[in-house]
Amino acid sequence: MYTLENVSKTYTQSKRKVTALADVTLTIPSGQLVAIQGPTGGGKSTLLQMLGALDRPTSGRISLGESELSHLPDRKLGGIRAKEIGFVFQGFNLIPTLTAQENVETALAPLGISAEERRRRAVDALASVGLADRAGHVPGELSGGQQQRVAIARALVKEPDVLLADEPTGNLDEETRDEIMDLLEGLWRDRGLTLVIVTHDTAVAKRAERRLHIKHGTVTER
């Protein structure tokens, strides 16, 4: 479960102070599917980075379960990201020189798992997203939808508690978008994940249990 108490995040941009999050207080229970919407520059991605332990708030507290994310050192935040949080990005963010299977294996590298076990789990993860036959292909040989499936397999192979998706269907056509959302929804349901999706797409947002709107750094329920 995520708990955010009076979380604020400010940046200095060209000597100008920009408030990305303003005094956000929020709770996201474990196993919930949450969609976050809002205009560009409203603070969606910043909120996702806070939830993903990629950044620390300027003020306030963020907790994931028993872990206080706002004050942990980088090394421990890295450990939490390695074990508990999976990421899916709009641009897929696959490593272009590695095959699909090797891309999935990168998520297991920090966990000290043996090479054989890594390979087995990567193959299983690819099979779970319907890409068992594409394991040896590099991203450039895969379609956008297939690349996003590889990215989802990479996020889930370590069996995290939380999956954070930043515009996961932003680069896909409607048909592929629906396929990906079906996949994510199925995985969420099967695995009991906490799934947080940042999206501009109302059709995607409507599939969530809970919809949040963020504008000028302020979060409201919809």
Site residues, other proteins (CB under 8 A): 45, 49, 52, 54-55, 74-75, 78-79, 81-83, 86-87, 89, 91, 93, 95-98, 102, 105-107, 109-111, 115, 118, 154-155
Which lies closer to other proteins via its Cβ, residue 13 or residue 175? Answer: 13
> How many Å apart are CA 40 and CA 200, to the nearest integer?
9
> How many Å apart are CA 18 and CA 26, to the nearest integer?
21
Identify the sign of the CA torsion 141, 186, 202, 18: negative
**Closest separation in Å from C-beta 168 to other proteins:** 14
**Closest separation in Å from C-beta 40 to other proteins:** 10
Which lies closer to other proteins via its Cβ, residue 23 or residue 55? Answer: 55
**How many Cβ atoms from other residues are within 10 Å of residue 90's Cβ?**
18
Which lies closer to other proteins via its Cβ, residue 140 or residue 221? Answer: 140
Contacts of 100 (CB under 8 A, 6+ apart): 94, 126, 131, 134, 135, 136, 137, 138, 139, 142, 150, 153
**Closest separation in Å from C-beta 81 to other proteins:** 4
**Closest separation in Å from C-beta 209 to other proteins:** 25
Structural contact between residues 156 and 122, judged by C-beta atoms closer than 8 angstroms: no
Which lies closer to other proteins via its Cβ, residue 17 or residue 40? Answer: 40
